[in-house]
Amino acid sequence: MNNLLKGSLALTIGLIGLTGGLTTAHAATKSPYLDINHSFIRYVQLKKNLYIGAQKKSGKTFKRVQSKKGTIVGILGMGYNKKDKNGNWIVNAGFTNVSDHYGRIKNLTYKRNVSVPLKKANFKIVKLGAEPTLYQAGKGFKGILNSTTFTSQAAFYLTMDHYVQYYNASAMKKFAPDGAVATVSGLDVWKPTHSAKAYKVTTKGRTTKIYTHRAIKGLPNKRLAKGKYRLTIKDLNRQTNQDFFPFEDAYYAYATWSSYRVNGKPYFSGTADEDYD
């Protein structure tokens, strides 16, 4: 099966060459490392300036830089393969950007072959929201006639630092062919077609409201007053599963998505698998 899922779902612990099970090891009570029995640590914050594999773009190249105290980073992969002199498992991790706006992450990457000990003196676990949902225009995936792939729909998402980033269909075809992306990670450095900073975001139940000072071209903005606009995203709590592209006695693809309304217009978010039968 050729999985069309993109982004952070494709990441594994093996990317940084670490071994060992995170849920079966028993660290010493006073281990200097973050608890390896946390089955999944998503984000950490630096307690001091430290090199953790960061590279900043300088001209056409990237140069090694030290990450500053207070920086929050995502965990690319983590694990352990040896003990320190006191018998504690040395927990290591590789890092990536948080899903912030394009202007913040476009010139900053993290080397994938760098793993750093997760010492309590240097890092603390932080909890952020889930990775941003990618909302695509339309009622669901659509297959291209006489093909075995999906159309690229215009889409948008709200970054973790509250920017609305919009991508037209051409941009989506470049960054996420087939649109088989449900969430956006810090590895997805996509230049938006249009964007705007949200000055207020509220969530109540299944409804999220995003307020901006200007309309975002391509989205169904609701004007509230001069310089004030709102996007109201309603989760319809409806999931659709559908087979696509029949081939002999099977199907070439399978897709699943959730349905939303954005200021009354249909949007969806989902994933798809190719070579499904």
The reported pLDDT for the residue numbered 8 is 37
Give pLDDT tens digits for 207-260: 999 999 999 999 999 999 999 999 999 999 999 998 887 766 656 778 899 999
Give pLDDT tens digits for 149-200: 788 899 999 999 999 999 999 999 999 887 778 999 999 999 999 999 999 9
Q: Are 273 and 253 in contact (CB under 8 A)?
A: yes
The reported pLDDT for the residue numbered 90 is 92
pTM of the model: 0.81
The reported pLDDT for the residue numbered 273 is 77
Give pLDDT tens digits for 76-85: 988 888 999 9
How large a percentage of the chain has pLDDT more than 70?
Answer: 83
User: Region 263-271: what's the mean pLDDT?
Assistant: 96
How many whole angstroms separate alpha carbon 73 and alpha carbon 54? Answer: 10
- Tell me which of 22 and 126 has the higher pLDDT: 126
Give pLDDT tens digits for 4-59: 333 333 333 344 444 444 433 444 458 899 876 655 788 999 999 999 999 999 99
The reported pLDDT for the residue numbered 180 is 78
The reported pLDDT for the residue numbered 151 is 84
The residue among 140, 138, 137, 141 whose CA lies nearest residue 193 is 137
Q: Are 119 and 91 in contact (CB under 8 A)?
A: no
The reported pLDDT for the residue numbered 146 is 55
Q: Give residues with Cβ within 8 angstroms of 21, minimum separation 6.
A: none
- Spell out the domain ranges in the chain: 8-126, 135-274
The reported pLDDT for the residue numbered 39 is 55
- Tell me which of 200 and 271 has the higher pLDDT: 200
The reported pLDDT for the residue numbered 275 is 61
How many whole angstroms separate alpha carbon 45 and alpha carbon 92? Answer: 15
Indicate the pLDDT class of residue 147, thresholds 50, 70 and 90.
Answer: low
The reported pLDDT for the residue numbered 276 is 52
The residue among 120, 145, 130, 123 whose CA lies nearest residue 203 is 130
The reported pLDDT for the residue numbered 9 is 35
How big is the chain, counted in residues? 277
The reported pLDDT for the residue numbered 144 is 59
The reported pLDDT for the residue numbered 252 is 72
How many whole angstroms separate alpha carbon 184 and alpha carbon 182? Answer: 7
Choose the most confident range, by mean pLDDT, from 111-115, 117-121, 143-147: 117-121
